[in-house]
Each structure stands twice: as C-alpha cells, then as structure tokens.
Amino acid sequence: MAVQTSPPAAAAGSQKAPVVKRTDNWWGGTLFFFIVFSAFGAWATFRAFQNGFYETAGASQFGGAYYLSPLYSPTLRLSTKIAGFNISPALFILPFPLCFRLSCYYYRKMLYRAYGADPLGCAIAEPEPLASMRRKKYKGEKYFPLVVQNFHRYAFFAAAIFIIMLWKDTIESFFFKSGDSMHFGMGLGSIVFLTNVVLLSCYTFSCHSWRHFVGGNADCYSCSVLNQTKHGLWKKVSFINEKHGTFAMASLISVALTDVYVFLVTSGHFHDIRFF
C-alpha cells in the first residue's frame, strides 16, 4: 500500500521530502507567454529586416492616411549602407523598446520562467541537467551578466521618449490628405493606433522603476510638502502598477497588430476603412 519515495539506504540525515507533481494548471500562463513572445519575436525580426510596407505617408491610394508602423517610428530618413546592404531604420529604433521590455520586471519574471526554466513553475523542480548545473552555483541578478538588469531605469526613460513620438504618430493618424489640404478624420487605422498608444502608455508608466522614481524612494511621506506630493504620485502609479503584467502583454500584442495592420494596408491586402 505504501509508496516508496526514497531509497532506504540513503545517507542518514540528508533525505529531503519527496517531490510531488502539482496537479493544477501551473504551466498555462508560462506556455501562453512563450508562444506569444516567440511569435512576436519572429514577426518583429521579419518586419525589422523587411525595410518596407511600413508607412502610408498620405498617399492617395491609401485614402491620404498617415499611418506609420510603430516598429519604424520615428521616421529616420537615413540611408545607411553596410557592405552594399541597405540597413533598415527599424534596426536603430527597436533596440530601445527591446531593452525596456527585456529588463522590465514583469518580462524578467516570464522570460526566466519560460526560456530559462528558472524556475519553470512554483515548487516545480527545475529540469535536469539544468537543476544540477545550477545547484549551489546559481547567481541570479547579483553578478554578471544579469546584473545589467539593474539599468532598467535608463531603458524606461528611453522608452518614455518613444511614447511621446508614438502619440505624435497617433495624432497624425487622425489627419488625412485630400489634394493639397489636410483634414481631420477617422479610419479603422486611427482607432488601431489610438488603442495601441494607450496600451503602450499604460504599460510604460506602470513601470516599477518609474514607481520608485516618482515616490517609492521616499522614506517619510509626511515629512515635507515635496514628499506629500511624491506620495500622491506614487499612489497613482501604484494603482496602475498592479496591472503592469496585463499591460505588458496587451501592449505587446497591440504593437504587433498595429504593425500587421499597417503591413496589410500598405501591401494592398486590406483597404483601410474610413468612418469620416
């Protein structure tokens, strides 16, 4: 009747409690992340090197719309050639948001889990041979290379600048060119852009480093007027910070879908719907 779990001849005093496999769904969230993030990575890489189909630039065949893919924003009018190859401007843009996401506290959690199996799940034994390789040797983020994650705050400020530029793109997506004049309007693309930039702003400004910067760093909120103001800001950022992970995923998906939309429109697969 009894189930033997540890060899009886084992050294006295060193036996650990047995590992029991968790029966609940501990892997669903991680698998979802793995699929979404990998798919995003593949699509973004393809698009970054494609160097085309990223802007409508007010052309008449696109109804005069100004849609610019977030992967290619801001427009860099560079023509850089290395060994005869045209270098895509996206390659100068993407490192910044990429660094922000890779060092984001939420992505760190999910990346370590999904790609590093460190840990694969809570109370889930790490798979061999990783487990024995890392036992007693684990370094976490204390030492190189992962200690660089500590620079997340710099990546945040870089990403915040991009948010300003994406808001500019979004405003432009509400203006359409007809003949020589510009007028206010709204297409399906405008809504896509607006949704995307709102989600991206929520993601960026719910950042933990930002939360620390605006007020988390104070020890005594009641001690000065400045600190009372900090407390107010900190409360507001803390409020959206609780949903940081949700915004992180929602904005990742919305960036991809916005880019797909611009791709479909500019490549002629889809005709932008104009409401007015």
Partner 1 sequence: MASKTITLRVFRGDDKGGELVEYKVETFENMVVLDAIHKIQAEQDSSLACRWNCKAAKCGSCSAEIDGKPALMCKTQVHDCAGDSITVTPLRTFPLVKDLVTDVSWNYRMAAKIPPLTPTKETAGKPFNMQQIDVDRVQEFRKCIECFLCQNVCHILRDHERTDAFFGPRQMVRIASLEMHPMDSLNRREQLKGEAGVGFCNITKCCTEVCPESIHITDNAIIPLKERVVDDYYDPVRKGLIAIGLIKKRNKAPLSSVPNDLTKIIS
Question: Least distance to partner 1 from the beta carbon of 30, Å?
Answer: 10
Segment lying near partner 1 (by CB under 8 A), choices 7-15, 51-59, 253-261, 263-271: 7-15
Asked if 123 contacts 22 with a C-beta cutoff of 8 angstroms, the reply is yes
Give the CA radius of gyration of the chain.
24
Cα separation, 257 vs 239, whole angstroms = 27
Question: Least distance to partner 1 from the beta carbon of 165, Å?
Answer: 22
Give the number of residues in contact with partner 1, rule: CB under 8 A.
66
Question: Least distance to partner 1 from the beta carbon of 88, Å?
Answer: 31
- Residue 82 in contact with partner 1, rule: CB under 8 A: no
In degrees and rounded to multiples of 5, residue 85 shows phi and psi of -95, 140
Which distant-in-sequence residues (6+ apart) come within 8 Å of 45 by Cβ?
none
Kindly provide the b/e burial profile for residues 66-92, where b requires at least 16 CB atoms within 10 angstroms of the residue's own CB: bbbbbbbbeeeeeeeeeeeeeebbbee
137 vs 269, beta carbon nearer partner 1: 137
Q: Which of 168, 158, 170, 46 is nearest to 102 (CA)?
A: 158
String of contacts with partner 1 for each residue 130-169, x by CB under 8 A: -x--xxxxxxxxxx--xx--xxxxx---------------
- Residue 34 in contact with partner 1, rule: CB under 8 A: no
DSSP 17: P
Among 8, 84, 145, 179, binds partner 1 (CB under 8 A): 8
Asked if 158 contacts 99 with a C-beta cutoff of 8 angstroms, the reply is yes
Cα angle for residues 213, 149, 165 (degrees, 5° grid): 60
Asked if 128 contacts 76 with a C-beta cutoff of 8 angstroms, the reply is no
String of contacts with partner 1 for each residue 84-123, x by CB under 8 A: ---------------------x--xx--xx----xx--xx
Question: Least distance to partner 1 from the beta carbon of 155, Å?
Answer: 12
132 vs 267, beta carbon nearer partner 1: 132
58 vs 119, beta carbon nearer partner 1: 119
Which distant-in-sequence residues (6+ apart) come within 8 Å of 163 by Cβ?
197, 200, 201, 204, 205
The end-to-end CA distance of the chain, in Å, is 75
String of contacts with partner 1 for each residue 39-78, x by CB under 8 A: ----------------------------------------
Amino acid found at 70? P
- Residue 6 in contact with partner 1, rule: CB under 8 A: yes
Footprint on residues 189-248 left by partner 1 (CB under 8 A): 208-209, 211-212, 216-217, 219-223, 228, 231, 241-242
Question: Least distance to partner 1 from the beta carbon of 242, Å?
Answer: 8
In degrees and rounded to multiples of 5, residue 253 shows phi and psi of -65, -40
Where along the sequence are the contacts to partner 1 (CB under 8 A)? 1-8, 10, 12-24, 105, 108-109, 112-113, 118-119, 122-123, 125-126, 131, 134-143, 146-147, 150-154, 208-209, 211-212, 216-217, 219-223, 228, 231, 241-242
